[in-house]
């Protein structure tokens, strides 16, 4: 797992298409995210190939997991856990006290991962996702300051 750079754009665009075919981010959107000082992106590799990535943005005391995903062939190997832990650790170092994310209400595997890291459901965005239309659960990880990466400090 390494920080994603502009040189990784082709791989990130490919991953976006595989992971989020219903509404992928464009190369321009990804380029802007990578260029932002308030954002941090990680890319995971297996056997030299990109198999997952994630990004977080931290502004002041609040952060947001912008995206995270692992290709089907690499799931169940803790890639998502390591990505999430790395994003949480970066947000903590950047000064975030709490971290938010949106997840498809039907994505039980992702919700389970987030719960295991101390996130809790704090709201619902009706019809937030497209293709197919689906609600998003809003999840929050509180008390980031002082805790170890990926775990709440309380």
65 domain residue, yes or no? yes
Instruction: Report the alpha-carbon distance of residue 26 to residue 30 in Å, rounded.
Output: 6
| DSSP per-residue letters across 49-77 | EEEEEEEEEEETTEEEEEEEEE-GGGTTT
In this structure, is the dihedral angle defined by the CA atoms of residues 1, 32, 132 and 139, taken in order, positive or negative?
Answer: positive
pLDDT at res. 143: 78
30 domain residue, yes or no? yes
Note the pLDDT tens digit of each residue in 61-74.
999 999 999 999 99
Instruction: Report the alpha-carbon distance of residue 154 to residue 147 in Å, rounded.
Output: 8
Joined tokens for residue 84:
């999430």
Say how many domains are in the chain.
1
pLDDT at res. 146: 57
Phi, psi of 38 (to 5 degrees): -95, 5
What CATH number did the domain enclosing 69 receive?
3.40.630.30
Domain containing residue 11:
2-141
- On average, the pLDDT of the chain sits at 92
**pTM score, whole prediction:** 0.90
What mean pLDDT is predicted for residues 40-55? 95
């Amino acid at each position: 797992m390494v920080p994603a750079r502009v040189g990784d754009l082709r791989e990130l665009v490919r991953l976006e298409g595989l992971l989020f075919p219903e509404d992928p981010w464009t190369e321009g959107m990804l380029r802007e995210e990578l260029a932002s000082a308030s954002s941090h992106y990680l890319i995971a590799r297996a056997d030299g190939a990109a198999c997952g990535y994630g990004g977080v943005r931290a502004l002041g005391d609040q952060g947001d997991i912008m995206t995270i995903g692992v290709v089907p062939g690499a799931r169940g190997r803790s890639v998502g856990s390591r990505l999430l832990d790395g994003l949480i650790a970066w947000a903590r170092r950047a000064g975030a006290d709490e971290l938010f994310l949106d997840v498809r209400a039907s994505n039980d595997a992702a919700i389970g991962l987030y719960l295991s890291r101390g996130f809790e459901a704090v709201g619902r965005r009706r019809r937030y996702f497209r293709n197919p239309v689906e609600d998003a659960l809003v999840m929050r990880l509180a008390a980031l300051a002082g805790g170890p990466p990926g775990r709440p400090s309380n």
